[in-house]
Structure 1
Protein backbone atom coordinates (compact mmCIF):
# COMPACT_ATOMS: atom_id res chain seq x y z
CA UNK A 1 0.00 0.00 0.00
CA UNK A 2 2.81 2.40 0.85
CA UNK A 3 4.47 1.99 -2.54
CA UNK A 4 1.14 2.45 -4.31
CA UNK A 5 0.57 5.67 -2.41
CA UNK A 6 4.02 6.99 -3.24
CA UNK A 7 3.81 6.01 -6.90
CA UNK A 8 0.40 7.54 -7.47
CA UNK A 9 1.31 10.68 -5.55
CA UNK A 10 4.64 11.09 -7.30
CA UNK A 11 2.99 10.74 -10.69
CA UNK A 12 0.46 13.44 -9.88
CA UNK A 13 3.03 15.74 -8.30
CA UNK A 14 5.32 15.54 -11.31
CA UNK A 15 2.51 16.76 -13.54
CA UNK A 16 2.03 19.78 -11.26
CA UNK A 17 5.65 20.87 -11.48
CA UNK A 18 6.13 24.53 -12.37
CA UNK A 19 5.93 24.87 -16.12
CA UNK A 20 6.76 28.56 -16.57
CA UNK A 21 10.12 29.95 -15.63
CA UNK A 22 11.01 33.56 -15.25
CA UNK A 23 12.56 35.00 -18.42
CA UNK A 24 16.04 35.14 -16.85
CA UNK A 25 15.68 31.96 -14.80
CA UNK A 26 17.75 28.99 -15.95
CA UNK A 27 15.89 25.84 -16.94
CA UNK A 28 18.18 23.87 -14.64
CA UNK A 29 16.31 25.12 -11.54
CA UNK A 30 13.20 23.23 -12.65
CA UNK A 31 15.34 20.17 -13.29
CA UNK A 32 16.96 20.51 -9.88
CA UNK A 33 13.55 20.66 -8.20
CA UNK A 34 12.45 17.52 -10.07
CA UNK A 35 15.63 15.68 -9.14
CA UNK A 36 15.29 16.71 -5.49
CA UNK A 37 11.67 15.55 -5.47
CA UNK A 38 12.66 12.21 -6.99
CA UNK A 39 15.43 11.74 -4.42
CA UNK A 40 12.99 12.54 -1.62
CA UNK A 41 10.44 10.06 -2.91
CA UNK A 42 13.08 7.37 -3.32
CA UNK A 43 14.40 7.93 0.20
CA UNK A 44 10.88 7.85 1.59
CA UNK A 45 10.24 4.51 -0.10
CA UNK A 46 13.24 3.08 1.73
CA UNK A 47 12.57 4.79 5.04
CA UNK A 48 10.81 3.49 8.12
CA UNK A 49 8.24 6.32 8.16
CA UNK A 50 4.67 5.43 8.87
CA UNK A 51 2.23 5.99 6.01
CA UNK A 52 0.65 8.97 7.75
CA UNK A 53 4.05 10.66 8.02
CA UNK A 54 4.70 10.07 4.34
CA UNK A 55 1.31 11.50 3.47
CA UNK A 56 2.03 14.57 5.61
CA UNK A 57 5.42 15.14 3.97
CA UNK A 58 3.97 14.76 0.48
CA UNK A 59 1.12 17.12 1.39
CA UNK A 60 3.58 19.73 2.61
CA UNK A 61 5.64 19.24 -0.54
CA UNK A 62 2.57 19.82 -2.71
CA UNK A 63 1.69 22.94 -0.72
CA UNK A 64 5.24 24.27 -1.12
CA UNK A 65 5.12 23.66 -4.87
CA UNK A 66 1.77 25.44 -5.10
CA UNK A 67 3.17 28.43 -3.21
CA UNK A 68 6.20 28.47 -5.51
CA UNK A 69 3.92 28.53 -8.54
CA UNK A 70 1.92 31.41 -7.02
CA UNK A 71 5.13 33.32 -6.34
CA UNK A 72 6.34 32.79 -9.89
CA UNK A 73 2.97 33.95 -11.26
CA UNK A 74 3.08 37.08 -9.10
CA UNK A 75 6.63 37.85 -10.23
CA UNK A 76 5.58 37.45 -13.83
CA UNK A 77 2.56 39.74 -13.34
CA UNK A 78 4.77 42.33 -11.66
CA UNK A 79 7.27 42.18 -14.50
CA UNK A 80 4.51 42.61 -17.07
CA UNK A 81 3.06 45.55 -15.13
CA UNK A 82 6.45 47.23 -14.84
CA UNK A 83 7.08 46.70 -18.55
CA UNK A 84 3.69 48.22 -19.40
CA UNK A 85 4.42 51.25 -17.21
CA UNK A 86 7.79 51.87 -18.85
CA UNK A 87 6.24 51.70 -22.32
CA UNK A 88 3.57 54.26 -21.40
CA UNK A 89 6.17 56.84 -20.49
Structure 2
Protein backbone atom coordinates (compact mmCIF):
# COMPACT_ATOMS: atom_id res chain seq x y z
CA UNK A 1 0.00 0.00 0.00
CA UNK A 2 2.96 2.36 0.55
CA UNK A 3 3.71 2.07 -3.18
CA UNK A 4 0.20 3.16 -4.10
CA UNK A 5 0.07 6.81 -5.26
CA UNK A 6 -2.82 8.76 -3.75
CA UNK A 7 -3.96 12.06 -5.20
CA UNK A 8 -3.00 15.12 -3.15
CA UNK A 9 -6.54 16.10 -2.00
CA UNK A 10 -7.18 12.57 -0.72
CA UNK A 11 -3.85 12.54 1.07
CA UNK A 12 -4.58 15.98 2.51
CA UNK A 13 -7.85 14.67 3.96
CA UNK A 14 -5.80 12.07 5.85
CA UNK A 15 -3.85 14.96 7.40
CA UNK A 16 -7.13 16.49 8.54
CA UNK A 17 -8.04 13.19 10.19
CA UNK A 18 -4.67 13.08 11.96
CA UNK A 19 -5.14 16.64 13.22
CA UNK A 20 -8.60 15.78 14.54
CA UNK A 21 -7.15 12.73 16.33
CA UNK A 22 -4.50 14.96 17.89
CA UNK A 23 -7.15 17.41 19.07
CA UNK A 24 -9.25 14.59 20.52
CA UNK A 25 -6.21 13.40 22.48
CA UNK A 26 -5.62 16.96 23.74
CA UNK A 27 -9.21 17.28 24.91
CA UNK A 28 -8.93 13.95 26.70
CA UNK A 29 -5.70 15.08 28.38
CA UNK A 30 -7.48 18.17 29.70
CA UNK A 31 -10.15 16.06 31.43
CA UNK A 32 -8.16 15.47 34.58
CA UNK A 33 -5.22 16.65 36.63
CA UNK A 34 -1.89 17.00 34.88
CA UNK A 35 0.29 13.96 34.54
CA UNK A 36 2.93 13.07 32.00
CA UNK A 37 1.07 9.86 31.20
CA UNK A 38 -2.18 11.74 30.57
CA UNK A 39 -0.45 14.04 28.04
CA UNK A 40 1.68 11.31 26.42
CA UNK A 41 -1.08 10.32 23.98
CA UNK A 42 -1.49 13.91 22.82
CA UNK A 43 2.26 14.37 22.38
CA UNK A 44 2.44 11.19 20.30
CA UNK A 45 -0.58 12.16 18.18
CA UNK A 46 0.81 15.67 17.64
CA UNK A 47 4.17 14.21 16.57
CA UNK A 48 2.47 11.83 14.12
CA UNK A 49 0.56 14.78 12.63
CA UNK A 50 3.67 16.95 12.33
CA UNK A 51 5.69 14.17 10.71
CA UNK A 52 2.84 13.43 8.29
CA UNK A 53 2.64 17.10 7.25
CA UNK A 54 6.37 17.18 6.58
CA UNK A 55 6.23 13.94 4.57
CA UNK A 56 3.18 15.13 2.61
CA UNK A 57 4.92 18.38 1.66
CA UNK A 58 7.97 16.45 0.43
CA UNK A 59 5.96 13.82 -1.42
CA UNK A 60 3.78 16.32 -3.29
CA UNK A 61 6.52 18.89 -3.90
CA UNK A 62 4.95 21.61 -1.75
CA UNK A 63 7.47 24.34 -1.02
CA UNK A 64 5.83 25.72 2.10
CA UNK A 65 5.26 23.04 4.75
CA UNK A 66 3.95 25.64 7.21
CA UNK A 67 1.26 26.88 4.81
CA UNK A 68 0.17 23.27 4.32
CA UNK A 69 -0.09 22.78 8.09
CA UNK A 70 -2.04 26.03 8.49
CA UNK A 71 -4.45 25.01 5.73
CA UNK A 72 -4.98 21.56 7.27
CA UNK A 73 -5.49 22.96 10.79
CA UNK A 74 -7.99 25.50 9.45
CA UNK A 75 -9.90 22.80 7.59
CA UNK A 76 -9.89 20.49 10.63
CA UNK A 77 -10.81 23.03 13.30
CA UNK A 78 -12.81 25.58 11.30
CA UNK A 79 -14.49 23.67 8.48
CA UNK A 80 -16.56 25.68 6.05
CA UNK A 81 -20.21 24.70 5.62
CA UNK A 82 -20.84 22.10 2.94
CA UNK A 83 -21.78 23.57 -0.40
CA UNK A 84 -25.23 22.64 -1.62
Structure 1 or 2: more helix by fraction: 1
Same-fold call, TM cutoff 0.5 = no
**TM-score category (smaller protein):** 0.3 to 0.5
The normalised TM-score by structure 1 is: 0.39
> Greater CA radius of gyration, 1 or 2?
1
